[in-house]
Amino acid sequence: MKNKRLYILTLILLLLIIIFYYAPEFLLNKGKAALLKGDYLSAYKNLNLAITIKRYDKDIRFYYVKTLTKFKSNIKIQKAIYKFSESIQNDSAKLLAGTKVYDWKYNIYRAYGENYIEHVSYDNKILRWDINTFPLKVYIENTSDKNLPNYYISEIKRCFSNWKNASGFINFTYVQTPKNADIVVKFSDFDNSNCKEGGCKYVVAYTNPIVKGSRLKQMIITVYERDPYGRFLSTKELHNTVLHEIGHALGIMGHSDNPSDLMYMSTNQPQIQSSSSGNFIFFTSNDINTLKLLYKLLPDITNVPLSQVNNKGLFYPPVLLGNERTVNMRKLIDAQNYVKKAPNISGGYIDLGIAFAELGKIEEAKKSFNKALALAATENEKALAYYNLAVVSMSNKKYKDAIKYAEISKTIMPSEEINDLINSIRQYLSLSMYNPQLK
């Protein structure tokens, strides 16, 4: 009986040896022959099995990638080829994959024209609405109780119409309650705590995404009712700012570095200014090209379950944006350049701190967020600074500091996101009571 078991085990061992040493070569030859005949599906099946068994074989890798390039460039193919282009194994397969990725990128940019797609991400993720849920539902807070001019509502609606007409594919409909809205426009009193003898630092509006995991719940655009001196916002101020903020609400979460573009982050915060000063700002082709390309990228965060996103015809974001480190380094350079141009604007230091944090430079991140806090012109900027200080303190295992900053952020601007952060920090605090290494 023992001899029979030994005999069976020996046969199994021999079979495994045959599979791992002879099958890959056999499958490679079958795959190459199928590829030569143009039978790409058969080639893929054989080479996919071969690479599963012998993943580092240079010949198998090369012919596998070559086979992948013969298929239509759907998301699955793009992901697979991009993965090879980022491989640590420097061989002909990586070179071939890199060439294919470059071709995709070149053709995409040629098709969509000049843009700033590399600046659109939200925490290194693509955030946008699912096009199949259009028209987007918009709620604009009633101004009658606030005694605001009638042109506030009409000008805001004109901004939404401008985006609709310029994009050619974005649609909006207005709803009567914020609960059912995708985009909410609300009005707020101005916080004049930043007003000093030299004037007031202020912004006219800001936008906050409400995100839960991979789900985009809502975009909230907050518009200040008046400037710090009690004057109503001019039509131009309202138009220029709201038009820009709608761009954020549609998913362009960053800014262009071209001053001509609508989505450029101004390096000047208003001080005392005349309501008749300045000009109306409109879209550039860069703005529209960026929006159109954004809605061709596979989203990481959207308003439907990711499994329900129709990825037909979409592009895999890293093909255009690069890997995570590339994105983070670009964000750091952009943020550093911005704060050099605008050393007194809080938002630039928020972006700088996030870039440092994503590169693991925690102390530099904390310094940037504290600088942003010192320069904050709005309650939103203060809340963002405290929120990010909580995040970096948590990542640095400083849980008591993290909970302190998070609670302050919640006091300034409550949200579901800050509640989730506070719950996570409390869990770590509880664990640290029993594990000294977590303190």
Of 139-153, 192-206, 252-266, 331-345, give the lowest mean pLDDT range: 192-206
Q: Give the range of the structural domain holding residue 104, as residue numbers without chain letter.
A: 2-112
- Category of 324 on φ-ψ map: left (φ > 0), alpha (ψ -120 to 50) or beta: alpha
Domain end: 68, 89, 112, which one? 112
Residue 439 has pLDDT above 90, yes or no: no
Give mean pLDDT, residues 400-416: 91
pLDDT band at 269 (very low <50, low <70, confident <90, very high): very low
Selected residue with higher pLDDT from 269 and 406: 406
- The Cα-based distances of 384 to 116, 224, 353, 372, 381 in angstroms read 24, 18, 11, 9, 5
Q: What is the structure's pLDDT at 270?
A: 39
Token code pair at residue 229:
């001196």
Which of 78-82, 298-302, 423-427 shows the lowest mean pLDDT across its residues?
423-427
Q: Beta partners for 264?
A: 256
pLDDT digit string, tens, across residues 42-69: 999 999 999 998 989 999 999 999 999 9
Compute the distance between CA of residue 173 and CA of residue 399 in angstroms, rounded to an integer: 44
pLDDT band at 13 (very low <50, low <70, confident <90, very high): low
Residue 1 has pLDDT above 70, yes or no: no
Residues 183 and 98 in one domain: no
Q: How far is 70 from 53, CA to CA, in rounded Å? A: 22
**Which region among 263-267, 351-355, 430-434 has the lowest average model confidence (pLDDT)?**
430-434
Identify whether residues 281 and 141 lie together within a single domain.
yes
Q: What value does the mean pLDDT of the chain take?
A: 88
pLDDT per residue over 197-246, tens digit each? 555 556 788 899 999 999 999 999 999 998 877 889 999 999 999 999 99
Residues 239 and 345 in one domain: no
Q: How confident is the model at residue 417 (pLDDT cuts 50, 70, 90)?
A: confident
Least confident among 11-25, 103-117, 142-156, 210-224: 11-25
Same domain, 250 and 106: no
pLDDT tens for 382-406 read 999 999 999 999 998 899 999 999 9
pLDDT of residue 197: 53
Q: Are residues 107 and 123 in the same domain?
A: no
> Is 60 exceeded by the pLDDT of residue 272?
no
As a whole number, mean pLDDT of residues 293-302 equals 98
Q: Which of 112, 139, 156 is the last residue of a domain?
A: 112
Same domain, 253 and 299: yes
The number of domains in the chain is 3
Do 329 and 412 reside in the same domain of the chain? yes
pLDDT of amino acid 19: 60
> Which pLDDT score is estimated for 435?
54
pLDDT exceeds cutoff 50 at 268: no
Q: Which amino acid is at 4?
A: K
At 274, is the pLDDT very low, low, confident or very high (cuts 50, 70, 90)?
very low
Domain identity same for 296 and 331: no
**What percentage of the chain exceeds 70 in pLDDT?**
88
- Cα 244 to chain centroid distance, Å, stands at 17
Per-residue pLDDT, 300: 97
**Same structural domain, 200 and 97:** no
Same structural domain, 176 and 300? yes
Last residue of a domain, one of 112, 143, 170: 112
Same domain, 66 and 90: yes
98 and 127 inside one domain = no
CATH assignment of the domain containing 242: 3.40.390.10
Q: Which residue shows structure tokens 């707020």?
A: 188
User: What pLDDT score was predicted for residue 15?
Assistant: 66
pLDDT score of 436 more than 60: no
